[in-house]
Amino acid sequence: MERILAVIFAVILVISGLSVKAEETFDLSSLITTQDVSYQDCIKVFNTDNVHLLYLTVAAVNANHFKIDEIQSRSGFILFTAVGKQFLASISNVNTNQGMLRITPVDDNYYFQPGIVANIFKYIELNLKTKLETLN
């Protein structure tokens, strides 16, 4: 009897664990399939100033192995190439505590993989609490 209860309990744990994992993950094919991306999906406001957001954006582009073509730190622009397509990441102030990041394709053709923008936004969200360090 104890063995039957243990097997039933183990089956319930496995089934409940699978259902939780299914809810937490998203469909990877929707991120890597080329599709029309709305302009609103390319804009996000973060709870940090524009200087910190600029450094996080450069780090996110680098972490995703995209090619950085140009950085203009004074104006807050980063030009990078991802999957053979150029993008412009522009950072601006919303107020003193918030910065806005806009990632748009240079050729204004919004038919690309949405994972490019989503991965950069996710990297920034995950590293938002990190402090900037000055290296000597």
Report the helix count and the strand count for the chain, using DSSP H and E: 4, 7
Q: What is the mean pLDDT of the chain?
A: 83
Q: Which residues pair with 111 in a beta bridge?
A: 36
92 in Cβ contact with 114 (< 8 Å): no
Q: Which residues pair with 67 in a beta bridge?
A: 81
In whole angstroms, what is the distance from residue 103 CA to residue 90 CA? 7
| Residues 21-74 pLDDT 10s | 443 444 555 556 778 899 999 999 999 999 999 999 999 999 999 999 999 988
Domains and CATH numbers, the chain: 33-126 (3.30.310.80)
- What's the pLDDT band for 120 if we cut at 50, 70, 90? very high
99 in Cβ contact with 49 (< 8 Å): yes
| Residues 6-34 pLDDT 10s | 556 555 545 555 444 443 444 555 556 77
Q: pTM for this structure? A: 0.75
Task: Report pLDDT for 90.
Answer: 96
